[in-house]
Structure 1
Amino acid sequence: MYFAALLARTEDGWEASDTELDDVETLSDLSDLAREALAEAGAEDDTVLVFIEQEDAWFGVVRVDGEEDPRIYISDAAAAARSSYGEILLTDELLGKDPDAADDLDALDLDGTEDGESAAADDDEEGEGGDGTPAEIVPAGPIGDTGILADLGIPEKELLALGGADALSEIADALGAAEVLETVR
């Protein structure tokens, strides 16, 4: 079971709203949703946090500050990779992948191998699954911007120590937004 909420920082404090992620397919969609929440709260140039949680498996925080690129923190990347909502957050950039590498067909010969590569390449090479398809390598544990909440009172060490079902509540409590988050839970 998933929980998703938006916390928008306004002049009057934090405003929370639950959110449906059914129509969200990309990080860009999620960022647009967050910016809409800022506009509705009358705080276009301020901060909105998107909280996503899958029971005790993992949680993610996406921070959108005005028109800046979103910042992402995920408590357990491997667990998030097994989730459709987690896959939205696990961008190529976050995973350290070159997004153009998979689409670069110019380096392939007509037999489907890369220039200079033997057509009889071993299927068990590192980076490939037993069926010859590239293996997705996602690290277990935290990934992303560990300083995402540092200026809001949650240092990196504290964020990294959070886990379990109460993690988002603990973050909201440290932000002074526990009551508004609980109203949408």
Structure 2
Amino acid sequence: MYFAALLARTEDGWEASDTELDDVETLSDLTDLARDASVDEDTVLVFIEQEDAWFGVVRVDGEDDPRIFVSDATAAARSSYGEILLTDELLGREPGAEDTIAALEELVGLDGTEDGAPDPTPDNHSDTTSDLTSDTDSDDPDDDGFGADAVPAGPLGDTLILADLGLPEAELLMLRTDALAEIEDALGAAEVQETVR
């Protein structure tokens, strides 16, 4: 189960609201959602949490690129909303790498029988094919084809994302459960807690 909240900074302090992520499919969608809630292009924070398994914070300041922090990248990688936050840039991989790997997997699967021609050697497959697919084939439905080492364990992203707002890096990295309450308290927004829980 997911929980999401928006914290928008205003002249009078922080305004909080819960938010639905049903129409959010990309980081751009999430960024647009934050900008829509912005007052005079001031800071907006989007908080996403999955049943205490992981949480993520996206910070949008006006038209600047969003800043992202994820408390546990490995756990987030198994989540549809976590995948939105785990961008190529955040993971340090080349843009489009996932598409390239998918294309290679498709090519490896071609054996010349796609047009209905019988396979002349059904029981004698080349070792090359198995070698090429061994690192990416998995019975795990959550496997994204990159292997376990593609997403680092633990926190990932901008650990200073809230430092200038009152939550230093060291304290952010210590957050586990009920992270939103701790963040709101550090931001001086504890009084808005009731509106989003």
TM-score band, normalised by the shorter chain? 0.7 to 0.9
Higher helix proportion, which one? 2
Q: Which structure's CA Rg is the greater one?
A: 2
**Correspondence 1:145 to 2:194:** no
Q: 1:120 aligns with which of 99, 116, 128?
A: 128
Whole-angstrom CA distance in 2 between matches of 1:124 and 1:53: 34
Structure 1 residues 134 and 79, CA, compared in 2 at 3 Å: closer, same or farther? Answer: closer
TM superposition shift of 1:45: 2.2
Percent of aligned pairs sharing the same letter:
74
- Aligned Cα RMSD in Å? 2.5
Structure 2 unpaired stretches of 5+: 110-126, 140-144
Structure 1 residue aligned with 2:181: 169
Give the alignment's TM-score, normalised by structure 2. Answer: 0.78
Unaligned runs of 5+ in 1: 114-118
In 1: Cα distance, 2:81 partner to 2:100 partner: 27
Q: In structure 2, what is the Cα distance between the partners aligned to 1:73 and 1:161?
A: 13
CA contact (8 A) 2:108 2:132 kept: no
Checking the alignment, whether the CA contact within 8 Å between 2:108 and 2:133 is kept in structure 1 is: no
Change (3 A) 1:51 1:112: same
Residues paired across the two proteins, number: 171
| Partner Cα distance (2:82, 2:90) in 1 | 12
CA 1:100–1:150: 2 relative to 1, 3 Å: same
* TM-score calculated relative to the size of structure 1: 0.82
Q: d(CA) in 2 for partners of 1:10 and 1:182?
A: 18
